[in-house]
């Protein structure tokens, strides 16, 4: 997110959480080591798409998505820290306690970005492996932050788009509940000096600090009560 902060290091940027489910089957790769008998589990398929209006009514211009994927590859995939989670997280950051896989490749193929991920030996990774062994149908969902412009009947992702993870592992894409319907309303997040915070909570924190500076203890107490309700 450095490029946004470089615009004005003293200014926070409020963005929406954007999550997309890909309507394509994910291939399973299960390889067994002949000597140790250990199984290595991988998933491979289309992780992201550009210049196509998706079922959520959004479109990612190729120029914007390609640039962001290049950054993601450089900062995360190539450094072996491109993790994803099992399920639909409700925030923009990856919780390592819920990490189930590590994305090892993300490459363009026409308008598609083909990804490959290794299933980890973590508690959540173990669940994914069991699901794969039992023949469960799984899909992938990308997660990022950004703002949108309405153009030609589509919500077009703008240049401030930031890819948090190219793939979370989710349930059967044919099940309606498996899809994230649009941007999560009411969930705005603020980037401020490299930190990600929910915008409303951040505003309460700012109000408390201002009240403290002006010795307004009554207002301070009210803001603190609001803060506790948000936890």
For the stretch 153-206, pLDDT in tens is 888 999 999 999 999 998 744 333 323 332 333 355 655 555 555 665 556 566
Q: What mean pLDDT comes out for the span 134-144?
A: 86
| Residue 107, H or E segment | strand 99-109
Count CB-CB contacts under 10 A for residue 76. Answer: 20
Query: Quick one: 31 exposed, middle or buried, by C-beta within 10 A (0-12, 13-18, 19+)?
Result: exposed
188-216: string of b/e by CB count within 10 Å (b at 16+)?
Answer: bbbbbeeebebbbebbbeebbeebeeeee
Active site residue 88: yes
What digits encode the pLDDT tens for the residues 76-120? 999 999 999 998 787 788 999 999 999 999 999 999 999 999 999
Alpha-carbon distance of 187 to 55, in angstroms, equals: 20
What residues have CB less than 8 Å from 104, skipping those under 6 apart?
42, 77, 82, 116, 117, 118
pTM: predicted TM-score of the whole model, two decimal places: 0.70
Question: Tokens 């973590």 identify what position?
Answer: 122
| Lowest-confidence region among 46-55, 119-128, 200-209 | 200-209
CB 177 within 8 A of CB 45: no
| SS3 label, residue 81 | coil
- 206 token code pair: 């700012």
Alpha-carbon distance of 175 to 170, in angstroms, equals: 10
Sign of torsion, CA 117 98 205 200?
Answer: positive
Active site residue 101: no
CB 204 within 8 A of CB 223: yes
Catalytic one of 24, 88, 105, 147: 88
Catalytic one of 141, 147, 174, 212: 141
Longest alpha-carbon distance in the chain: 71
Mean of all residue pLDDT scores within the chain: 76
- 190 token code pair: 């603020």
pLDDT at 10 over 80: no
Alpha-carbon distance of 211 to 227, in angstroms, equals: 14
Count CB-CB contacts under 10 A for residue 48. Answer: 24
- 102 token code pair: 């590590």
Q: pLDDT band at residue 29, thresholds of 50, 70 and 90?
A: confident
- 125 token code pair: 């990774």
Sign of torsion, CA 144 139 48 76?
Answer: positive
């Amino acid at each position: 997110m450095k490029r946004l902060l470089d615009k004005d290091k003293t200014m926070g940027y409020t963005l929406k959480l954007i999550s997309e489910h890909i309507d394509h089957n994910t291939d399973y790769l299960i390889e067994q080591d002949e000597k140790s008998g250990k199984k290595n589990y991988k998933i491979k398929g289309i992780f992201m798409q550009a210049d196509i209006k998706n079922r959520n009514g959004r479109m990612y211009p190729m120029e914007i998505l390609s640039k962001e994927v290049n950054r993601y590859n450089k900062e995360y995939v190539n450094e072996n820290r491109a993790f994803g989670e099992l399920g639909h997280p409700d925030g923009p950051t990856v919780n390592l306690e819920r990490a189930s896989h590590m994305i090892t490749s993300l490459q363009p193929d026409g308008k598609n970005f083909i990804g490959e991920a290794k299933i980890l030996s973590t508690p959540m990774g173990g669940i994914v492996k069991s699901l794969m062994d039992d023949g469960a149908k799984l899909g992938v969902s990308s997660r990022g932050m950004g703002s949108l412009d309405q153009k030609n009947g589509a919500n077009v992702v703008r240049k401030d788009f930031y890819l948090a993870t190219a793939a979370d592992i989710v349930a059967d894409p044919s099940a309606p509940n498996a899809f994230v319907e649009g941007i999560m309303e009411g969930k705005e997040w603020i980037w401020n000096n490299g930190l990600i915070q929910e915008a409303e909570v951040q505003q309460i924190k700012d109000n408390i600090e201002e009240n403290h500076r002006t010795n307004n203890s009554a207002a301070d107490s009210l803001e603190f009560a609001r803060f506790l309700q948000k936890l």
